[in-house]
Structure 1
Amino acid sequence: MKKLVFLAFATVSCFAQQKEEPPKVPAPAPAAAMPAVVTPASETEGSVTANGQRVDYKAVAGTLTVAADDAHDAQIALDGSWLPEAHINLEKPEEAPATARIFYTAYFKKGAKAEERPVTFLYNGGPGSSTMWLHMGSFGPKRVITNDTHHDPAAPYKITDNTYSLLDVSDVVFIDMPGAGFSRLFGKDKEKAFWGIDQDAHAFDRFIRRFLTKYSRWNSPKYLFGESYGTTRSAVLSNMLQNSGVDLNGVILLSQILNFADSADGSRSGPGSDMAYVLSLPSMAATAFYHHKLPTQPAALEPFLTEVEHFATTDYLLALAKGADLGDADKRAVAEKLHGYTGLPVDYLLRADLRVNGGGFSKMLQLGDGLTTGRLDSRYAAPDIDPLSSEAEYDPQGQAITSAYTTAINSYARETLKYGDQMTYKPGAYGDPGFDWDMRKGFANFGRSTNVMTDLANCMKGNPKLKVMLLGGYFDLGTLYFGAEYEMKHLQIPAALQKNISYHFYESGHMVYLNESIMKRFHDDTAEFIRGTENGK
Structure 2
Amino acid sequence: MRNWLVILCVFLFAAPAFAEDAAKPDKAAAEIPDPSVFASNHSLKLRGETIKYQAVASETYLRDEKDKPTASVFSVSYVRDGLADPASRPVTFVFNGGPGSASLWLHMGAFGPKQVITPSDATGVGAPPYTIRDNQNSLLDVTDLVFIDPVGTGYSRPLGETEGKEFYGVNEDAESIAEFIRIWLTENGRWNSPKYLAGESYGTTRAAALTEKLQGGWNGIGLNGVILISAILDFQTGRFAPGNDTAHIAFFPSEAAIAWYHGKANAAKWNNDFDAFVADARAFATDTLAPALIRGSTLSAADEARIAQEMSDYLGLSAEWIQQANLRVDASRFRKELLRREGYTVGRFDGRYKGVDSEGTADVPENDPSGYGMDVAYVAAINDYLTRDLDVDFTRPYKVLTGEPGSQWNWSMNERGWPAYVNVTPWLGKGMRENPELRVLLASGWYDLATPFYGAEMALFKNGVVLDRVQFDYYDAGHMMYLAEEDGTKLSDDVRAFIAAGR
TM above 0.5, yes or no, is yes
The yes-or-no answer on 1:99 pairing with 2:78 is: no
SS in 1 for 2:471: strand
Q: What residue number does 2:109 align with?
A: 137
Distance in 1 between the 2:485 and 2:327 partners?
A: 36
The residue that corresponds to 2:245 in the other structure is 274
Q: Which residue of 1 aligns with 2:91?
A: 119
What aligned pairs does 1:379-458 form with structure 2 within 5 A after superposition? 379-431=352-404, 435-444=407-416, 446-458=418-430
Alpha-carbon distance in structure 2 between the residues aligned to 1:35 and 1:118:
37
Q: What secondary structure does 1:390 align onto?
A: coil
Contact 1:429 1:435 in 2 (8 A): no
**What is the match of residue 348 of structure 2?**
375
From the superposition, tell whether residues 450 and 385 of structure 1 become closer, same or farther in structure 2 (CA, over 3 Å): farther
1:326 counterpart letter in structure 2: L
Q: Residues 151 and 164 of structure 2 are in contact (CA less than 8 Å); yes or no, is this contact kept in structure 1?
A: no
**How is 1:135-534 mapped onto 2 (pairs within 5 angstroms)?**
135-148=107-120, 149-243=122-216, 244-263=219-238, 266-268=239-241, 271-296=242-267, 299-431=272-404, 435-444=407-416, 446-493=418-465, 497-534=466-503
| Paired residues of 2:59 and 2:73 also in contact (CA < 8 A) | yes
Q: Is the 8 A contact 2:70 2:162 kept in 1?
A: no
- Tell me the secondary structure at the aligned position of residue 62 of structure 1: strand
SS in 1 for 2:231: coil
Q: What is the deviation of 1:294?
A: 2.0
User: What is the CA–CA distance in structure 1 between the aligned matches of 2:321 and 2:426, rounded to whole Å?
Assistant: 38
Could you tell me which amino acid in structure 1 is paired with residue 387 of structure 2?
Answer: R
Q: Distance in 2 between matches of 1:179 and 1:267?
A: 27
Partner of 1:56: 52
Could you tell me the percent identity over the aligned residues? 39
Q: Greater shift after overlay, 458-467 or 57-66?
A: 458-467
Shift of the alpha carbon at 1:461?
A: 2.2
TM-score with structure 1 setting the length? 0.85
Q: Which letter maps to 1:207?
A: F
SS at match of 2:486: coil
* 1:112, distance to aligned residue in structure 2 (A): 2.1
Q: Please say if residues 34 and 187 of structure 1, whose CA atoms lie closer than 8 Å, have aligned partners that are also in contact.
A: no
Cα displacement (A) at 1:444: 4.5
Q: Is the 8 A contact 2:32 2:160 kept in 1?
A: no
Task: Provide the C-alpha distance between the structure 2 equivalents of 1:251 and 1:365, rounded to a whole number of angstroms.
Answer: 35
| Aligned-residue offset at 1:218 | 0.6
Question: Is residue 208–residue 425 contact of structure 2 (8 Å, CA) maintained in 1?
Answer: yes
Give yes or no for contact 1:50–1:166 (8 Å, CA) kept in 2.
no
Judged with a 3 Å threshold, the aligned counterparts in structure 2 of structure 1 residues 123 and 35 are, in CA distance, closer, same or farther, namely: farther
Q: Secondary structure at the match of 1:166?
A: coil
The one-letter code matched in structure 1 to 2:299 is L
Letter in 2 for 1:504: D
| Unaligned 5+ runs, structure 2 | 1-26
Q: Against the structure 1 CA distance between its residues 150 and 32, is the aligned structure 2 distance closer, same or farther, given a 3 Å change threshold?
A: farther
Paired with 2:29 and 2:167, the residues of 1 have a C-alpha distance of 16
Q: Give the distance between the partners of 1:445 and 1:260, measured in 2 at CA.
A: 16
* Aligned-residue offset at 1:426: 1.1
Q: Is the 8 A contact 2:71 2:158 kept in 1?
A: yes
Q: CA deviation at 1:431?
A: 4.4
User: Is the 2:207–2:226 contact (alpha carbons within 8 Å) kept by the matching residues of 1?
Assistant: yes
Matched, 1:40 2:13: no
One-letter code aligned to 1:285 = A
Bigger mean CA deviation after superposition, 192-201 or 308-317: 308-317
Cα-to-partner distance string for 1:20-42 (whole Å, 9 max, x where unaligned)? xxxxxxxxxxx965743235311
One-letter code of the match for 1:111? Answer: G
1:275-326 residue CA offsets vs partner (Å, 9 max, x unmatched): 2111211100110011111244552322210111111111222222221111
Q: Which runs of 5+ in 1 are unaligned?
A: 1-30, 76-81, 83-97
Distance 1:342 1:469, change over 3 A: same
Separation in 2, partners of 1:426, 1:461 = 37
Q: Which amino acid is the alignment partner of residue 102 of structure 2?
A: S
Shift of 1:130: 0.5
Q: Which residue identity lines up with residue 177 of structure 2 in the other structure?
A: F
SS in 2 for 1:518: helix
Between structure 1 and structure 2, the one with the greater Rg is 2
Give the conservation status (yes or no) of the 8 Å contact 1:44–1:58. Answer: yes
Matched AA of 1:49: K
Q: Output the CA distance in 2 between the equivalents of 1:146 and 1:129.
A: 20
Q: CA RMSD in A?
A: 1.8
Report the Cα distance in structure 2 between the residues aligned to 1:140 and 1:236, rounded to whole angstroms.
Answer: 24
Q: CA deviation at 1:177?
A: 0.9
Partners in 1 of 2:311 and 2:455 — Cα distance?
18
Alignment correspondent of 2:9: none
Q: Aligned with 2:473: secondary structure?
A: strand
CA contact (8 A) 2:445 2:476 kept: yes
**CA distance, structure 1, for counterparts of residue 305 and residue 28 of structure 2:** 62
Quote the offset at 1:435 in angstroms: 4.6
Q: Does 2:37 match 1:65?
A: no
Note the C-alpha offset of 1:121.
0.3
